[in-house]
Amino acid sequence: MSSVLTIRGGVPLTGRVHVRGAKNLVPKAMVAALLGNEPSVLRNVPEIKDVEVVTSLLQLHGVTVEKDPVSGDLTLDPTDAKTASSTAIDAHAGDSRIPILLCGPLIHAIGEAFIPDLGGCKIGDRPIDFHLDVLRQFGAVVEKRPGGIHISAPKGLHGAKISLPYPSVGATEQVLLSATRAEGITELSGAATEPEIVDLIAVLQKMGAIISVQTDRTIRIEGVRDLGGYNHRALADRNESASWASAALVTRGDIFVEGASQRDMMTFLNTFRKVGGGMDIGDDGIRFYHRGGKLSPLVLETDVHPGFMTDWQQPLVVALTQAEGVSIVHETVYENRFGFTDALIRMGASIQVHRECLGSVPCRFGQRNFRHSAVISGPMQLKGTDIDVPDLRGGFSHLIAALAATGTSRVTGIDIINRGYERFTEKLAGLGADFDITAAK
Ligand code: EPU
Protein backbone atom coordinates (compact mmCIF):
# COMPACT_ATOMS: atom_id res chain seq x y z
CA MET A 1 0.00 0.00 0.00
CA SER A 2 1.22 3.51 -0.78
CA SER A 3 2.28 5.77 2.10
CA VAL A 4 1.85 9.42 2.97
CA LEU A 5 4.59 11.56 4.47
CA THR A 6 3.53 14.36 6.77
CA ILE A 7 6.49 16.72 6.98
CA ARG A 8 6.89 19.52 9.51
CA GLY A 9 9.44 21.78 7.83
CA GLY A 10 12.07 24.20 9.05
CA VAL A 11 14.56 21.73 10.53
CA PRO A 12 18.10 21.88 9.04
CA LEU A 13 19.16 18.39 7.91
CA THR A 14 22.40 17.47 9.66
CA GLY A 15 24.36 14.24 9.89
CA ARG A 16 25.59 11.51 7.61
CA VAL A 17 24.08 9.45 4.78
CA HIS A 18 25.66 6.53 2.95
CA VAL A 19 25.20 6.42 -0.82
CA ARG A 20 25.69 3.07 -2.55
CA GLY A 21 25.90 1.95 -6.19
CA ALA A 22 24.40 4.09 -8.95
CA LYS A 23 20.80 3.44 -9.99
CA ASN A 24 21.88 4.27 -13.53
CA LEU A 25 24.59 1.58 -13.56
CA VAL A 26 23.62 -1.30 -11.25
CA PRO A 27 20.59 -2.67 -13.20
CA LYS A 28 22.62 -2.48 -16.43
CA ALA A 29 25.57 -4.35 -14.93
CA MET A 30 23.02 -6.99 -13.86
CA VAL A 31 21.83 -7.24 -17.47
CA ALA A 32 25.46 -7.57 -18.65
CA ALA A 33 25.82 -10.73 -16.51
CA LEU A 34 23.52 -12.42 -19.03
CA LEU A 35 26.27 -12.13 -21.65
CA GLY A 36 28.65 -14.38 -19.68
CA ASN A 37 29.10 -18.14 -19.60
CA GLU A 38 29.82 -18.19 -15.86
CA PRO A 39 28.54 -16.39 -12.73
CA SER A 40 29.22 -12.71 -12.02
CA VAL A 41 29.37 -10.88 -8.70
CA LEU A 42 28.11 -7.32 -8.34
CA ARG A 43 28.95 -5.36 -5.18
CA ASN A 44 27.68 -2.10 -3.65
CA VAL A 45 24.12 -2.85 -4.79
CA PRO A 46 21.41 -0.52 -3.44
CA GLU A 47 17.94 -1.73 -2.44
CA ILE A 48 15.88 0.10 -5.05
CA LYS A 49 12.94 -0.76 -7.28
CA ASP A 50 14.92 -1.06 -10.56
CA VAL A 51 17.14 -3.73 -8.96
CA GLU A 52 14.01 -5.69 -7.96
CA VAL A 53 12.53 -5.41 -11.46
CA VAL A 54 15.71 -6.57 -13.20
CA THR A 55 16.20 -9.38 -10.66
CA SER A 56 12.72 -10.62 -11.45
CA LEU A 57 13.17 -10.32 -15.24
CA LEU A 58 16.50 -12.16 -15.12
CA GLN A 59 14.98 -14.91 -12.97
CA LEU A 60 12.12 -15.32 -15.45
CA HIS A 61 14.84 -15.92 -18.06
CA GLY A 62 16.48 -18.66 -16.01
CA VAL A 63 19.26 -16.55 -14.46
CA THR A 64 19.89 -17.42 -10.80
CA VAL A 65 20.20 -14.26 -8.72
CA GLU A 66 21.43 -14.73 -5.15
CA LYS A 67 21.75 -11.92 -2.67
CA ASP A 68 24.28 -12.12 0.16
CA PRO A 69 22.20 -11.49 3.31
CA VAL A 70 24.95 -9.45 4.99
CA SER A 71 26.65 -7.45 2.23
CA GLY A 72 23.75 -7.38 -0.25
CA ASP A 73 26.20 -8.43 -3.02
CA LEU A 74 24.51 -10.18 -5.94
CA THR A 75 25.74 -13.36 -7.61
CA LEU A 76 24.17 -13.76 -11.04
CA ASP A 77 24.46 -17.10 -12.81
CA PRO A 78 23.31 -17.06 -16.46
CA THR A 79 24.34 -20.60 -17.38
CA ASP A 80 20.74 -21.89 -17.58
CA ALA A 81 19.26 -18.89 -19.43
CA LYS A 82 16.00 -19.71 -21.22
CA THR A 83 13.04 -18.11 -22.95
CA ALA A 84 10.56 -16.67 -20.46
CA SER A 85 6.78 -16.82 -20.81
CA SER A 86 5.47 -13.59 -22.32
CA THR A 87 2.63 -13.49 -19.77
CA ALA A 88 5.14 -13.54 -16.91
CA ILE A 89 7.22 -10.81 -18.59
CA ASP A 90 4.08 -8.81 -19.20
CA ALA A 91 3.58 -8.44 -15.45
CA HIS A 92 6.54 -6.00 -15.59
CA ALA A 93 5.02 -3.73 -18.23
CA GLY A 94 5.40 -0.10 -17.19
CA ASP A 95 7.77 -0.86 -14.30
CA SER A 96 11.04 0.52 -15.66
CA ARG A 97 13.00 1.46 -18.80
CA ILE A 98 15.76 -1.06 -18.18
CA PRO A 99 14.06 -4.05 -19.97
CA ILE A 100 14.87 -2.53 -23.39
CA LEU A 101 18.55 -3.19 -22.59
CA LEU A 102 17.91 -6.93 -22.34
CA CYS A 103 17.55 -7.18 -26.16
CA GLY A 104 21.18 -7.77 -27.17
CA PRO A 105 22.10 -10.05 -24.24
CA LEU A 106 18.94 -12.15 -24.69
CA ILE A 107 19.55 -12.56 -28.42
CA HIS A 108 23.10 -13.72 -27.69
CA ALA A 109 21.94 -16.03 -24.87
CA ILE A 110 18.73 -17.54 -26.28
CA GLY A 111 18.25 -16.16 -29.80
CA GLU A 112 15.24 -13.90 -29.13
CA ALA A 113 13.81 -11.28 -26.78
CA PHE A 114 10.34 -10.16 -25.76
CA ILE A 115 10.38 -6.73 -24.10
CA PRO A 116 7.31 -5.48 -22.19
CA ASP A 117 6.01 -1.94 -22.64
CA LEU A 118 8.39 0.32 -20.75
CA GLY A 119 7.97 2.52 -17.69
CA GLY A 120 10.26 5.11 -16.10
CA CYS A 121 9.74 8.73 -15.11
CA LYS A 122 7.28 10.86 -17.06
CA ILE A 123 9.66 13.69 -17.92
CA GLY A 124 9.05 13.79 -21.66
CA ASP A 125 8.07 11.41 -24.44
CA ARG A 126 11.01 9.08 -23.79
CA PRO A 127 10.88 7.24 -27.12
CA ILE A 128 12.96 4.13 -27.94
CA ASP A 129 13.54 4.87 -31.63
CA PHE A 130 17.35 5.07 -31.20
CA HIS A 131 17.34 1.66 -29.49
CA LEU A 132 15.31 -0.01 -32.23
CA ASP A 133 17.36 1.62 -35.02
CA VAL A 134 20.56 0.40 -33.37
CA LEU A 135 19.23 -3.16 -33.03
CA ARG A 136 18.16 -3.20 -36.68
CA GLN A 137 21.65 -2.07 -37.69
CA PHE A 138 23.05 -5.10 -35.85
CA GLY A 139 20.76 -7.29 -37.99
CA ALA A 140 17.86 -7.75 -35.55
CA VAL A 141 14.25 -8.06 -36.67
CA VAL A 142 11.91 -5.99 -34.50
CA GLU A 143 8.17 -6.78 -34.38
CA LYS A 144 5.50 -4.97 -32.38
CA ARG A 145 3.30 -7.50 -30.54
CA PRO A 146 0.48 -7.02 -28.01
CA GLY A 147 2.02 -5.83 -24.72
CA GLY A 148 5.54 -5.31 -26.03
CA ILE A 149 8.07 -5.97 -28.78
CA HIS A 150 9.59 -9.17 -30.05
CA ILE A 151 13.18 -9.11 -31.32
CA SER A 152 15.02 -11.87 -33.11
CA ALA A 153 18.17 -12.18 -35.21
CA PRO A 154 17.92 -15.13 -37.61
CA LYS A 155 21.54 -14.63 -38.71
CA GLY A 156 22.88 -13.50 -35.31
CA LEU A 157 24.02 -9.95 -34.50
CA HIS A 158 26.87 -8.53 -36.54
CA GLY A 159 29.04 -5.44 -35.92
CA ALA A 160 28.00 -2.17 -37.56
CA LYS A 161 29.06 1.43 -38.07
CA ILE A 162 26.48 3.38 -36.07
CA SER A 163 25.98 7.08 -35.50
CA LEU A 164 23.59 8.35 -32.82
CA PRO A 165 21.61 11.52 -33.57
CA TYR A 166 22.00 12.52 -29.89
CA PRO A 167 24.41 11.12 -27.25
CA SER A 168 21.71 8.99 -25.58
CA VAL A 169 22.83 7.09 -22.49
CA GLY A 170 20.44 4.19 -23.06
CA ALA A 171 21.17 3.84 -26.78
CA THR A 172 24.93 3.85 -26.08
CA GLU A 173 24.38 1.06 -23.55
CA GLN A 174 22.23 -0.80 -26.07
CA VAL A 175 25.17 -0.71 -28.50
CA LEU A 176 27.68 -1.85 -25.87
CA LEU A 177 25.52 -4.74 -24.68
CA SER A 178 24.75 -5.88 -28.25
CA ALA A 179 28.18 -5.35 -29.84
CA THR A 180 30.49 -7.08 -27.37
CA ARG A 181 29.44 -10.53 -28.58
CA ALA A 182 28.38 -9.55 -32.12
CA GLU A 183 30.43 -10.81 -35.01
CA GLY A 184 33.02 -8.25 -36.15
CA ILE A 185 33.75 -4.66 -35.29
CA THR A 186 31.29 -1.97 -34.19
CA GLU A 187 32.10 1.71 -34.34
CA LEU A 188 29.69 3.99 -32.51
CA SER A 189 29.95 7.74 -33.06
CA GLY A 190 27.99 10.34 -31.11
CA ALA A 191 28.14 8.12 -28.01
CA ALA A 192 27.29 9.20 -24.46
CA THR A 193 30.28 9.02 -22.09
CA GLU A 194 28.64 9.37 -18.65
CA PRO A 195 30.65 7.83 -15.76
CA GLU A 196 27.99 5.09 -15.52
CA ILE A 197 28.73 4.15 -19.15
CA VAL A 198 32.46 4.03 -18.45
CA ASP A 199 31.70 1.77 -15.46
CA LEU A 200 29.58 -0.51 -17.68
CA ILE A 201 32.53 -0.68 -20.10
CA ALA A 202 34.73 -1.66 -17.13
CA VAL A 203 32.29 -4.48 -16.29
CA LEU A 204 32.32 -5.71 -19.90
CA GLN A 205 36.12 -5.50 -20.08
CA LYS A 206 36.33 -7.69 -16.96
CA MET A 207 34.14 -10.21 -18.80
CA GLY A 208 36.57 -10.29 -21.74
CA ALA A 209 35.21 -7.59 -24.08
CA ILE A 210 37.47 -5.39 -26.20
CA ILE A 211 36.19 -1.81 -26.09
CA SER A 212 38.04 1.47 -26.62
CA VAL A 213 36.67 4.94 -26.00
CA GLN A 214 38.13 7.61 -28.25
CA THR A 215 38.32 11.34 -27.56
CA ASP A 216 35.59 12.34 -30.02
CA ARG A 217 32.59 10.44 -28.56
CA THR A 218 33.48 7.40 -30.65
CA ILE A 219 33.45 3.94 -29.06
CA ARG A 220 34.98 0.97 -30.88
CA ILE A 221 34.03 -2.56 -29.94
CA GLU A 222 35.72 -5.69 -31.33
CA GLY A 223 33.19 -8.47 -30.97
CA VAL A 224 34.29 -11.67 -29.17
CA ARG A 225 32.57 -15.04 -29.31
CA ASP A 226 32.30 -15.70 -25.55
CA LEU A 227 32.43 -13.69 -22.37
CA GLY A 228 33.12 -14.88 -18.81
CA GLY A 229 31.80 -13.46 -15.53
CA TYR A 230 32.85 -10.34 -13.62
CA ASN A 231 33.44 -9.27 -10.04
CA HIS A 232 32.71 -5.57 -9.80
CA ARG A 233 31.98 -2.86 -7.26
CA ALA A 234 29.46 -0.43 -8.75
CA LEU A 235 30.42 3.24 -8.83
CA ALA A 236 28.57 5.42 -6.32
CA ASP A 237 25.33 7.15 -7.21
CA ARG A 238 26.36 10.70 -8.13
CA ASN A 239 22.73 11.73 -8.63
CA GLU A 240 21.70 10.68 -5.14
CA SER A 241 24.86 12.37 -3.79
CA ALA A 242 23.99 15.65 -5.55
CA SER A 243 20.42 15.40 -4.24
CA TRP A 244 21.63 15.24 -0.64
CA ALA A 245 24.00 18.15 -1.36
CA SER A 246 21.05 20.27 -2.50
CA ALA A 247 19.06 19.10 0.54
CA ALA A 248 21.82 20.46 2.81
CA LEU A 249 21.71 23.81 1.02
CA VAL A 250 17.92 24.12 0.89
CA THR A 251 17.42 23.29 4.60
CA ARG A 252 20.48 25.31 5.74
CA GLY A 253 21.93 22.02 6.95
CA ASP A 254 25.19 20.07 6.96
CA ILE A 255 25.34 16.56 5.44
CA PHE A 256 28.32 14.23 5.01
CA VAL A 257 27.58 12.05 1.98
CA GLU A 258 29.62 8.92 2.47
CA GLY A 259 30.53 7.38 -0.88
CA ALA A 260 30.16 10.60 -2.92
CA SER A 261 32.94 10.71 -5.48
CA GLN A 262 34.56 14.01 -6.47
CA ARG A 263 35.80 12.64 -9.79
CA ASP A 264 32.29 11.87 -11.06
CA MET A 265 30.72 15.08 -9.72
CA MET A 266 33.15 17.82 -10.73
CA THR A 267 30.65 19.81 -12.75
CA PHE A 268 28.11 19.64 -9.93
CA LEU A 269 30.73 20.68 -7.35
CA ASN A 270 31.70 23.77 -9.38
CA THR A 271 28.05 24.80 -9.58
CA PHE A 272 27.40 24.10 -5.89
CA ARG A 273 30.37 26.31 -5.01
CA LYS A 274 29.15 29.11 -7.34
CA VAL A 275 25.75 29.09 -5.60
CA GLY A 276 27.59 29.58 -2.32
CA GLY A 277 27.45 26.06 -0.85
CA GLY A 278 30.24 24.85 1.40
CA MET A 279 32.02 21.53 0.84
CA ASP A 280 34.88 19.49 2.26
CA ILE A 281 36.01 16.81 -0.14
CA GLY A 282 37.39 13.67 1.52
CA ASP A 283 38.56 10.26 0.34
CA ASP A 284 35.45 8.46 1.54
CA GLY A 285 32.84 11.11 0.81
CA ILE A 286 31.97 14.79 0.65
CA ARG A 287 30.58 17.08 3.35
CA PHE A 288 28.04 19.56 1.92
CA TYR A 289 26.81 22.46 4.03
CA HIS A 290 25.16 25.87 4.09
CA ARG A 291 27.77 28.48 4.99
CA GLY A 292 25.31 30.79 6.70
CA GLY A 293 25.42 33.74 4.27
CA LYS A 294 23.33 34.45 1.19
CA LEU A 295 23.15 32.07 -1.75
CA SER A 296 24.01 33.41 -5.23
CA PRO A 297 21.82 33.04 -8.32
CA LEU A 298 23.27 31.60 -11.52
CA VAL A 299 22.69 30.80 -15.17
CA LEU A 300 22.80 27.10 -15.89
CA GLU A 301 22.30 24.72 -18.77
CA THR A 302 21.84 20.96 -18.37
CA ASP A 303 23.75 18.80 -20.84
CA VAL A 304 25.17 15.36 -21.46
CA HIS A 305 28.39 14.49 -19.60
CA PRO A 306 30.67 16.29 -18.89
CA GLY A 307 28.00 19.00 -18.71
CA PHE A 308 25.62 19.65 -15.81
CA MET A 309 23.58 16.46 -15.50
CA THR A 310 19.81 16.78 -16.01
CA ASP A 311 19.16 14.65 -12.89
CA TRP A 312 20.90 17.30 -10.75
CA GLN A 313 18.66 20.05 -12.08
CA GLN A 314 15.48 19.55 -10.04
CA PRO A 315 16.97 19.50 -6.51
CA LEU A 316 19.23 22.43 -7.42
CA VAL A 317 16.26 24.49 -8.62
CA VAL A 318 14.84 24.25 -5.08
CA ALA A 319 18.13 25.67 -3.75
CA LEU A 320 17.92 28.48 -6.33
CA THR A 321 14.53 29.53 -4.90
CA GLN A 322 16.58 30.54 -1.84
CA ALA A 323 19.29 32.45 -3.77
CA GLU A 324 19.36 36.27 -3.72
CA GLY A 325 18.40 37.33 -7.28
CA VAL A 326 17.38 35.83 -10.62
CA SER A 327 18.60 32.43 -11.86
CA ILE A 328 18.02 30.95 -15.30
CA VAL A 329 18.02 27.21 -15.97
CA HIS A 330 17.85 25.83 -19.53
CA GLU A 331 16.99 22.10 -19.64
CA THR A 332 18.40 20.64 -22.86
CA VAL A 333 18.20 16.87 -22.22
CA TYR A 334 14.46 16.33 -21.54
CA GLU A 335 11.71 18.47 -23.04
CA ASN A 336 9.40 18.27 -20.04
CA ARG A 337 11.40 18.33 -16.81
CA PHE A 338 9.94 21.44 -15.18
CA GLY A 339 6.47 20.07 -14.32
CA PHE A 340 7.63 19.76 -10.72
CA THR A 341 7.88 23.56 -10.43
CA ASP A 342 4.04 23.84 -10.21
CA ALA A 343 4.15 22.51 -6.64
CA LEU A 344 7.07 24.80 -5.76
CA ILE A 345 5.07 27.79 -7.01
CA ARG A 346 2.14 26.73 -4.80
CA MET A 347 4.65 26.67 -1.93
CA GLY A 348 5.54 30.30 -2.60
CA ALA A 349 8.50 30.02 -5.01
CA SER A 350 8.74 32.55 -7.82
CA ILE A 351 9.40 30.54 -11.00
CA GLN A 352 8.36 31.21 -14.59
CA VAL A 353 8.76 28.47 -17.18
CA HIS A 354 9.31 29.49 -20.83
CA ARG A 355 9.22 27.83 -24.23
CA GLU A 356 12.27 29.75 -25.51
CA CYS A 357 15.84 28.48 -25.14
CA LEU A 358 17.16 30.77 -22.41
CA GLY A 359 20.72 29.55 -22.80
CA SER A 360 23.83 30.33 -24.78
CA VAL A 361 23.17 27.51 -27.25
CA PRO A 362 19.73 26.86 -28.81
CA CYS A 363 18.79 23.24 -28.07
CA ARG A 364 16.63 20.57 -29.80
CA PHE A 365 13.54 21.88 -27.99
CA GLY A 366 13.67 25.50 -29.15
CA GLN A 367 10.64 26.74 -31.18
CA ARG A 368 8.81 23.50 -30.42
CA ASN A 369 6.42 24.49 -27.66
CA PHE A 370 8.27 22.68 -24.88
CA ARG A 371 8.40 24.63 -21.63
CA HIS A 372 12.07 23.88 -20.98
CA SER A 373 13.63 27.08 -19.58
CA ALA A 374 12.99 28.36 -16.05
CA VAL A 375 13.53 31.77 -14.48
CA ILE A 376 13.73 31.58 -10.70
CA SER A 377 13.66 34.67 -8.46
CA GLY A 378 14.61 34.53 -4.81
CA PRO A 379 14.87 34.28 -2.00
CA MET A 380 11.26 33.28 -1.31
CA GLN A 381 10.08 31.67 1.92
CA LEU A 382 8.48 28.32 1.09
CA LYS A 383 5.25 27.28 2.83
CA GLY A 384 4.05 23.72 3.45
CA THR A 385 1.34 22.31 1.17
CA ASP A 386 -0.16 19.03 -0.18
CA ILE A 387 1.98 17.46 -2.89
CA ASP A 388 1.58 14.38 -5.09
CA VAL A 389 5.01 13.23 -6.27
CA PRO A 390 5.25 13.41 -10.10
CA ASP A 391 8.59 11.67 -10.82
CA LEU A 392 11.77 10.53 -9.12
CA ARG A 393 13.93 13.66 -9.03
CA GLY A 394 10.95 16.04 -8.97
CA GLY A 395 9.61 14.06 -6.00
CA PHE A 396 12.87 14.31 -4.06
CA SER A 397 12.90 18.04 -4.82
CA HIS A 398 9.41 18.38 -3.36
CA LEU A 399 10.55 16.57 -0.25
CA ILE A 400 13.46 18.92 0.36
CA ALA A 401 11.25 21.95 -0.36
CA ALA A 402 8.76 20.65 2.25
CA LEU A 403 11.59 20.03 4.72
CA ALA A 404 12.73 23.66 4.36
CA ALA A 405 9.22 25.17 4.34
CA THR A 406 7.35 26.72 7.22
CA GLY A 407 4.36 24.66 8.32
CA THR A 408 3.27 21.17 7.41
CA SER A 409 3.23 19.37 4.03
CA ARG A 410 1.42 16.18 3.17
CA VAL A 411 3.28 14.25 0.44
CA THR A 412 1.63 11.36 -1.44
CA GLY A 413 3.01 9.06 -4.15
CA ILE A 414 6.35 8.68 -2.33
CA ASP A 415 6.84 5.13 -3.62
CA ILE A 416 8.24 6.67 -6.81
CA ILE A 417 11.14 8.00 -4.74
CA ASN A 418 12.13 4.45 -3.75
CA ARG A 419 13.03 3.90 -7.42
CA GLY A 420 16.25 5.84 -6.97
CA TYR A 421 16.77 6.72 -3.31
CA GLU A 422 17.57 3.72 -1.14
CA ARG A 423 15.80 3.80 2.25
CA PHE A 424 15.28 7.52 1.95
CA THR A 425 12.89 7.81 4.90
CA GLU A 426 15.45 6.13 7.20
CA LYS A 427 18.09 8.52 5.91
CA LEU A 428 15.83 11.53 6.47
CA ALA A 429 15.08 10.38 10.01
CA GLY A 430 18.83 10.00 10.66
CA LEU A 431 19.35 13.60 9.49
CA GLY A 432 16.81 14.87 12.03
CA ALA A 433 13.87 15.54 9.68
CA ASP A 434 10.54 15.92 11.46
CA PHE A 435 7.95 13.70 9.72
CA ASP A 436 5.51 10.80 10.11
CA ILE A 437 4.64 8.06 7.64
CA THR A 438 1.09 6.75 7.49
CA ALA A 439 -0.71 4.44 5.08
CA ALA A 440 -2.66 6.23 2.32
CA LYS A 441 -6.43 5.91 2.63
N1 EPU B 1 15.92 9.72 -26.74
C2 EPU B 1 15.25 9.57 -27.95
N3 EPU B 1 15.14 8.30 -28.46
C4 EPU B 1 15.64 7.21 -27.82
C5 EPU B 1 16.33 7.37 -26.60
C6 EPU B 1 16.46 8.65 -26.08
O7 EPU B 1 14.78 10.55 -28.53
O8 EPU B 1 15.50 6.09 -28.35
C9 EPU B 1 16.03 11.08 -26.15
C10 EPU B 1 15.27 11.16 -24.81
O11 EPU B 1 13.89 11.38 -25.01
C12 EPU B 1 15.98 12.30 -24.12
C13 EPU B 1 17.42 12.16 -24.62
O14 EPU B 1 17.38 11.35 -25.80
O15 EPU B 1 15.46 13.53 -24.56
C16 EPU B 1 18.37 11.53 -23.63
O17 EPU B 1 17.87 10.28 -23.19
P18 EPU B 1 18.82 9.08 -22.75
O19 EPU B 1 18.63 7.94 -23.68
O20 EPU B 1 20.21 9.63 -22.57
O21 EPU B 1 18.23 8.73 -21.33
P22 EPU B 1 17.92 7.31 -20.72
O23 EPU B 1 18.99 6.35 -21.05
O24 EPU B 1 16.51 6.93 -21.00
C25 EPU B 1 19.27 7.68 -18.51
C26 EPU B 1 18.93 7.71 -17.06
C27 EPU B 1 18.17 8.97 -16.74
C28 EPU B 1 19.03 10.16 -17.11
C29 EPU B 1 19.42 10.08 -18.60
C30 EPU B 1 20.34 11.21 -19.05
C31 EPU B 1 18.73 5.39 -16.56
C32 EPU B 1 17.87 4.25 -16.16
N33 EPU B 1 18.13 6.55 -16.74
O34 EPU B 1 18.01 7.66 -19.19
O35 EPU B 1 17.94 8.98 -15.35
O36 EPU B 1 18.33 11.35 -16.87
O37 EPU B 1 20.06 8.83 -18.86
O38 EPU B 1 21.54 11.15 -18.37
O39 EPU B 1 19.94 5.25 -16.67
C40 EPU B 1 16.89 9.58 -13.36
O41 EPU B 1 17.81 8.98 -12.80
O42 EPU B 1 16.02 10.28 -12.76
C43 EPU B 1 16.80 9.49 -14.82
C44 EPU B 1 15.74 9.91 -15.51
Instruction: Give all strands (DSSP E) within 205-324, no chain letters.
Output: 210-213, 218-222, 231-233, 254-258, 277-281, 285-290, 299-301
pLDDT recorded at residue 147 = 77
What digits encode the pLDDT tens for the residues 54-103? 999 999 999 999 999 999 999 999 999 988 877 777 777 677 888 899 99
The model's confidence at residue 249, banded by pLDDT at 50, 70 and 90, is very high
- Beta-bridge partners for 376: 327, 351
The SS3 of residue 161 is strand
Nearest CA to ligand 1 atom 37: 169
pLDDT higher than threshold 70 for residue 123 = no
Any residues with Cβ below 6 Å from ligand 1, and which?
23-24, 97, 121, 124-131, 166, 168-171, 192, 194, 239, 310-311, 333-334, 392-393, 420
Confidence grade of residue 438 (pLDDT, cut at 50, 70, 90)? very high
Report yes or no: 289 and 256 within 8 Å, Cβ to Cβ: no
For the chain, domains (ranges, CATH) are: 3-19+236-439 (3.65.10.10), 26-233 (3.65.10.10)
In three-state secondary structure terms, 202 is helix
How close is the Cα of 19 to the center of ligand 1, in Å?
22
Using the atom order of ligand 1, give the atom closest to the CA of residue 169: 20
Question: Rounded to two decimals, what is the model's pTM?
Answer: 0.96
pLDDT band at residue 122 using 50, 70 and 90 as cut-offs: low
pLDDT at 109: 92
302-313 residue pLDDT tens:
999 999 999 999
Q: What is residue 120's predicted lDDT score, i.e. its pLDDT?
A: 66
Q: Can you tell me the distance from the alpha carbon of 290 to that of 292, in angstroms, rounded to the nearest whole number? A: 6
Q: Which of 103, 122, 169 to mutate to test the pocket of ligand 1 (most atoms within 8 A of CB)?
A: 169
Q: How many angstroms separate the alpha carbon of residue 168 from the centre of ligand 1?
A: 6
Q: How confident is the model at residue 118 (pLDDT cuts 50, 70, 90)?
A: confident
In 223-360, the DSSP E strands lie at: 231-233, 254-258, 277-281, 285-290, 299-301, 325-330, 350-354
317 vs 327: CA distance, rounded Å: 9
pLDDT tens, residue by residue, 197-210: 999 999 999 999 99
Ligand 1 centroid from CA 177, angstroms: 16
Q: If you ran DSSP here, which 8-state letter would residue 225 be given?
A: S
